[in-house]
Amino acid sequence: MKRTIYSFFIFMLCASSLFAQKKDVLLTIDDDPIYANEFKRVFKKNLDLVQDDSQKSVDGYLELFIDYKLKIAEAYAQGLDKKKEYKKEFSKYEEQLARNYIFEDKVTEDLAKEAYERGLEEIKAAHILILTTYDDPPQDTLAAYNKISKIREDLIKNGGDFETKAKTASEEPNADKSGGNLGYFTVFSLVYPFETAAYATPVGEISEITRTQYGYHIIKVLDRRQREPEISVSHIMITDKKGDTRTFNPEERINEVYGLLQQGESFEELAKQYSDDKNSAKNGGALNRFGKGDLKSPEFEEAAYSLDKAGEYSKPIQSSFGWHIIRLDEKHGIATFEEKKTMLEKRVAEGSRSKIVTHAVNDLIKKKFGFKKGADHHAYFDLLVGDEVLSRRWKLDTVPPEDNKVLFTIADKTIDFRSFAEFIAERQATTRMSKVKSRFLAEMYDEFETQELKRYFKDQLEAEDETYAAVISEYRDGLLIFDVMDSNIWRKVRKDSIGQRDFYEKNKESYKWKQRIGGQIYAATSLETAKKVASMLKEEKSVGEIKKAINVDNKIGVIVTSGMFEIDARDLPEGFVAEEGVSKIYEDGVSFIVVRVADITPPKIKEFEEIKGRVMSDYQNEVEANWMKELRKKFDVEINKKTLKRIKKELKA
């Protein structure tokens, strides 16, 4: 995840072009040219992202650009591009990016449309499973098929009860209790062949025999119903936070807020003031629209979908995230295919449908560039690859030149037997192993052919498509920068505890607490209640006594937050003046605030352990700045002043 974020940042900072004219060189680093077109596009695109005004000019931004390029040069100098982990990660990125080009075709769109149509319905079904894997020998597979065939024939001819038969005949775990009942499901819930068979079967009927990786199934469709549309809700969430200086019971707090809602207080204002979901709190608690199954919280979904009318809110409910009050804002209509197309195509490419897409894409690449099978390889590899491959212990000695025939040809690129043998030798360590060698070799060939077809396609794509080439170049450089920064800066700083301490001692005046107050914040629902709270505080009544006196008859009149607060903390009212004792009454949104200040702590230097994270970050910046000075000395940077002058004129900066 960290690599992904960093690579994306680098892409946003310095998207490069491989298609600049060679004569238009802006600068060289140890004689390696960097072109003007790259810099101009970067400058135009990212100027708004630069916060330092001194770097918004061409000269200022050029310094950032050179630093970036120096880091790349140092990464190559340290051989980081040769590391196995880097190659693996880059290959993964390349595959993901190329998908956007390879999979943008008719087959993906057709499967996405099919998924959209299916997703309008939910199906309730039961099934009977006879277990068999793709690795089982043919006689076992046939026996499983005959068994499921007999069960289906018996049910159809004799009209037996499906649930009873499932309990006695199905080999699915717990079928003896569940009767094979799967409940309601919709698109993407189950593997594609099973889903397809279920959606093709009318209610009350039994499907044809269906094969999946688990075995043979027959499916009885029990019901179909329209899927509920997406909804929009807002919520107020209270959760425990480790390290939070506030002290209150979350369940008690959510019930207090619920009481305020019932008394007519604004949901939005209460969300802004009390909700611990800061992202939604600033928007009055509003969340993005969602459908059933979209969230990782069934308790939340169930409560949200139980609300009928816009504006209706739930009683406090608990989820794995905390306590919530949920308000229904809108029940949406059914989204159109165009609205969901991007999401559906992504799921098609990533799910069990991907094999269908892969085979279709392979055919398209073959047709586009030309593909020709070479010599038959089956008999040769059956002899070459021993049974020890099934235990991942096969070793490739050699493929003699006289045996190294052409396996297949893509356009003008020839793939030989030796390349396939080397692929098997390396891949055996990490692939899902089959039990039968012939099946293993067949799977290896399919994977190898797909790999080579995609590799050829991507090579051509980088040569022909400027946008793809620029992005893939940035992925490549972004990963290298992550590695060079990690090995030279981040890891070094993390391990250098002495350096961190020394940096803290030299700069401790920069790390100070602001003035802090210790005490309680009383948020009252009315001015009259706030005056009563202030009066009771002056009489030195306790928190418990005040709440007991004011929060009566299930009506919440005051909410209390205790702790230590910096003078500009969110919990304190705007314009608050710190003085020991009971403050004046402040009006703050929907509340009237009284603060009891027990003690005031003046500004002071924070202890190292209190500020360790920030110290490490600042120390890291210092180490990086010194490192960049070293790189400036190490590499010879030459700027083409004529080109720079022309760029300034073009950009008028």
Give pLDDT tens digits for 103-125: 556 778 889 999 999 999 989 99
Q: Write down the pLDDT at residue 18.
A: 41
Residue 379, domain member (yes or no): yes
Task: Indicate the burial class of 137 (C-beta count within 10 angstroms; 0-12, 13-18, 19 or more).
Answer: exposed
CATH of the domain at 535: 3.10.50
| Confidence at residue 286, expressed as pLDDT on a 0 to 100 scale | 96
Cβ atoms of 130 and 144 within 8 Å: the answer is: yes
Chain mean pLDDT for the chain: 89
pLDDT at 198 over 80: yes
Question: Which residues make Cβ contacts (< 8 Å) with residue 487, sequence separation at least 6?
Answer: 78, 80
Q: Where are the alpha helices (DSSP H) in 103-189?
A: 106-119, 138-158, 162-169, 175-178
Helix (H) or strand (E) holding 639: strand 637-639
- Whether residue 114 lies inside any domain: the answer is no
Asked if residue 445 belongs to a domain, the reply is: yes
Residue 462 to residue 483: CA distance in whole angstroms: 24
Asked if residue 13 belongs to a domain, the reply is no
Crossing angle of helices 354-369/437-464, nearest 10°?
60
pLDDT at 594: 96
Q: What is the pLDDT of residue 14?
A: 43
Whether residue 133 is found in the same domain as residue 214: yes
Task: Assess whether pLDDT exceeds 50 at residue 54.
Answer: yes
Overall number of domains in the chain: 4
Q: pTM surpassing 0.75?
A: no
- Nearest by Cα to 107 from 354, 448, 446, 342: 354
In whole angstroms, give the CA distance from residue 84 to residue 93: 14
b (16+ CB within 10 A) / e for 177-188: ebbbbbebbbbb
| pLDDT at 56 exceeding the cut of 80 | no
Please tell me whether residues 141 and 196 are part of one structural domain: yes
Using the 3D structure, point to which of 309, 331, 353 is the last residue of a domain: 331
Q: Please check the confidence at residue 458 and state whether its pLDDT lies above 90.
A: no
pLDDT at 349: 77
Which pLDDT score, from 0 to 100, does residue 469 have? 80
In a shared domain, residues 560 and 520: yes
C-alpha 555: how far from chain center: 43
DSSP 8-state class, residue 81: G
**Does 247 lie in the same domain as 203?**
no
Residue in the block written with tokens 């020709």: 372
Question: Does some domain include residue 218?
Answer: yes
**C-alpha angle with apex 595: 590 to 600, nearest 5 degrees?**
145
Domain final residue, candidates 437, 463, 489: 463
C-alpha to C-alpha distance for 328 and 29, rounded to whole angstroms: 59
Question: In terms of domains, do 376 and 414 share one?
Answer: yes
The confidence score (pLDDT) of residue 653 equals: 53
189, part of any domain? yes
Arithmetic mean of pLDDT, 439-455 = 93
Per-residue model confidence (pLDDT) at position 10: 41
Asked if residue 246 and residue 205 are part of one domain, the reply reads: no
43 occurs within a structural domain: no
pLDDT for residue 297 is more than 90: no
pLDDT band at 13 (very low <50, low <70, confident <90, very high): very low
Mean pLDDT of the 551-580 span: 92
Q: Are 109 and 345 in contact (CB under 8 A)?
A: yes
Of 107, 100, 283, 120, nearest in space to 199 by CA: 120
* Structure confidence by residue, pLDDT tens digits, 199-254: 999 999 999 999 998 999 999 999 999 888 889 999 999 987 655 666 788 999 99
- Position 53 scores a pLDDT of 64
pLDDT digits (tens, 9 = 90+) for 27-47: 999 999 998 888 887 787 776
| pLDDT confidence of residue 8 | 36
Residue 51 pLDDT greater than 80, yes or no:
no
What is the residue whose two structure tokens read 């350096």?
499
Whether the predicted pLDDT of 384 surpasses 50: yes
Residues 216 and 248 in one domain: no
The sign of the torsion formed by the CA atoms of 304, 308, 309, 312 equals: negative
Instruction: Give the model's confidence band at 136: pLDDT under 50 very low, under 70 low, under 90 confident, else very high.
Output: confident
Q: Does 508 have pLDDT greater than 50?
A: yes
Same domain for 258 and 217, yes or no, is no
Using CA atoms, how far apart are residues 41 and 14, in angstroms rounded to an integer?
9
**396, 451: one domain:** yes
Tell me the mean pLDDT in the region 262-273: 94
Identify the CATH number of the domain in which residue 219 sits: 3.10.50.40
Final residue before a domain boundary, out of 406, 428, 463 = 463
Is residue 98 included in any domain, yes or no?
A: no
- 15-29, 483-497, 612-626: lowest mean pLDDT where? 15-29
Cα 574 → chain centroid = 37
**152: containing domain:** 121-226
Per-residue pLDDT, averaged over 424-439, amounts to 90
Q: Are residues 208 and 138 in the same domain?
A: yes
| Shared-domain flag, residues 144 and 165 | yes
- 454: pLDDT strictly greater than 90: no
CA proximity to 559, closest of 569, 544, 570, 547: 547
* Residue 588: pLDDT over 60: yes
Per-residue pLDDT averaged across 388-402, rounded? 95
- Residues 18, 473: contact at Cβ < 8 Å? yes
For 61-88, write each residue's pLDDT tens digit. Answer: 899 999 999 999 999 999 999 999 999 8
537 shares its domain with 565: yes
Q: What percent of the chain has a predicted confidence (pLDDT) above 70?
A: 93
